[in-house]
Amino acid sequence: MNGIIETDVQTIEVALGERRYPVWIGRGLLHDSARWRARLRGRHALVVSNTTVAPLYLERLAQGLDGLQWSSFLLDDGEAHKSFANVGRALDALATLGATRDACVIALGGGVVGDLAGFAAACWMRGIDFIQMPTTLLAMVDSSVGGKTGVNLPAGKNLVGAFHQPRAVVADIDTLATLPEREYCAGLAEVVKGAAIGDADFFAWLETHADALAARDTAKVIEAIARKVRYKAGVVARDETEQGERALLNLGHTFGHALETAGRYTTLLHGEAVAIGMLLAARLSERLGMSGAPDSARLQHLLARLGLPVSMPTGSDPEQLLALMRLDKKNTAGTLRLILWRGIGRAQIVGGADEAAVLAVLREASAAASHPA
């Protein structure tokens, strides 16, 4: 990170009726155990991390666990390890630790670690505490907040899971110093998504500060994370279990998941697929008369400035993508249910989306990717 001198810690409270938890965003938070240790209630803690993140940051966290009975469980790195088998192993680690009902699981890593650790916490003795310590930008702005936990099955991504809210989220942005550039940019896509869906002022702020964000300016990164988390916390507070509004957070996801699946999860990172997916959703919305070309152009320009892909991978097959979109979890009764765009800062859930229009957008984007202007 650059431009680092002194930055305050931002605190955002996620409020779900009587239940509340803080999201702390700032520098040096892993070291700042006086702050987060108070969120641990018992004597046992299991730190779940992975083989990439633990060598970098486990020691920093461990100094705050003095006096507790604790152990760690490390996943191999990668989405493939967000599996049911590894939940079983994490639960075995809790059993070996002798974890009681007041034990806490601490997730130190990106979204893969956070989703699996949270699900293990939801299962052990029908639900114990967990704390999210996200170390990717994507996890800081999205997956660590809101309580969606779970794992993948061979049949599909995130098919098993539970809503289980953390006791606290500790986003130490010093950890972003080691995050590879592509992963950092993928996280920025999730920031843009929040602004595109629900906050036009934030979108304009991102346009103003895109260069600083691309250069990882500390103060701007903290502000961007805080604004996205504040927006998401509001949505989750109104619709914790996705009965309505929370589905809007999936703008671009149906297109994006189809692109990820078509690329066998090796071509695009999730955030990159979401960036392209948002643009496809914007073009479809234009075609359906819901939004205008200038808004799509602003979205495309911002994503490109933040180092994100703005066209489909060459060789994408529109018919295959449409078939994959038909398998999306959000669909109902055999019709496509999409999150579409009403321009900067406004999104809408559309059931029974016009498949011919979807196919036309996919064909156009595929042709443009094969023959760039």
Query: Is 19 within 8 Å of 25 (Cβ atoms)?
Result: no
118 near ligand GLY, judged by CB under 6 A: no
111 contact, one of ligand GLY, ligand NAD, none, CB 5-8 Å limit per kind: ligand NAD
Applying CB under 6 A, which part among 1-9, 23-31, 141-149, 302-310 lies near ligand GLY? 141-149
Give me the least distance between CB of 149 and ligand NAD, in Å please: 6
32 near ligand NAD, judged by CB under 6 A: no
35 catalytic, yes or no? Answer: no
Query: Is 111 within 8 Å of 104 (Cβ atoms)?
Result: no
Structure tokens at 319: 């018919």
Contacts (CB under 6 A) with ligand GLY, residues 233-252: 246, 249
Q: Considering only CA atoms, which of 179, 46, 62 is closest in space to residue 117?
A: 46
Q: Which of 242, 331, 363, 364 is catalytic?
A: 242
139 contact, one of ligand NAD, ligand GLY, none, CB 5-8 Å limit per kind: ligand NAD
35 near ligand GLY, judged by CB under 6 A: no
Find where tokens 């933040």 sit: 306
* Cα–Cα separations (whole angstroms), residue 107 to 85, 162, 212: 17, 16, 29
Contacts of 34 (CB under 8 A, 6+ apart): none
254 near ligand NAD, judged by CB under 6 A: no
Q: Considering only CA atoms, which of 56, 50, 37 is closest in space to residue 168?
A: 37
Q: Where are any strands of DSSP class E within 164-306?
A: 168-172
Q: Which of 35, 257, 283, 337 is catalytic?
A: 257
Question: Could you give the CA distance from residue 163 to residue 4 in angstroms, rounded to a whole number?
Answer: 36
Closer residue to ligand GLY (CB): 249 or 269: 249
Contacts (CB under 6 A) with ligand NAD, residues 77-96: 77, 79, 82
Closer residue to ligand NAD (CB): 53 or 361: 53
Label residues 256-268 b or e (16+ Cβ within 10 Å = b): bbbbbbbeebeeb
Applying CB under 6 A, which part among 17-25, 142-150, 153-161, 296-304 lies near ligand GLY? 142-150
157 near ligand GLY, judged by CB under 6 A: no
Mapping DSSP to helix (H, G, I), strand (E, B) and coil, where does residue 97 land?
helix
Structure tokens at 234: 């509001």
Contacts (CB under 6 A) with ligand NAD, residues 121-140: 135-136, 138-139
How open is the CA angle 120-263-213, to the nearest 5 degrees? 75
183 catalytic, yes or no? Answer: no
Contacts (CB under 6 A) with ligand NAD, residues 269-298: 270
Closer residue to ligand GLY (CB): 142 or 172: 142
Q: Which of 44, 164, 193, 253 is catalytic?
A: 253
Tell me, by CB under 6 A, how many residues bind ligand GLY: 5
Question: Could you give the CA distance from residue 10 to residue 224 in angstroms, rounded to a whole number?
Answer: 11
Adjacent-strand bridge partners of 19: 16
φ, ψ dihedrals at 210, nearest 5°: -60, -40
190 catalytic, yes or no? Answer: yes
220 catalytic, yes or no? Answer: no
32 contact, one of ligand NAD, ligand GLY, none, CB 5-8 Å limit per kind: none
* DSSP codes of every residue in 303-331: HHHTT---SPPTT--HHHHHHHHTT-TT-
Adjacent-strand bridge partners of 349: 339
Q: Give the interface with ligand NAD as residue ranges (CB under 6 A).
A: 50, 52-53, 56, 77, 79, 82, 109-113, 115, 135-136, 138-139, 142-143, 146, 148, 158, 175, 178-179, 183, 186, 270
Residues involved in catalysis: 126, 148, 190, 232, 242, 246, 250, 253, 257, 270
Q: Give the interface with ligand GLY as residue ranges (CB under 6 A).
A: 142, 146, 148, 246, 249
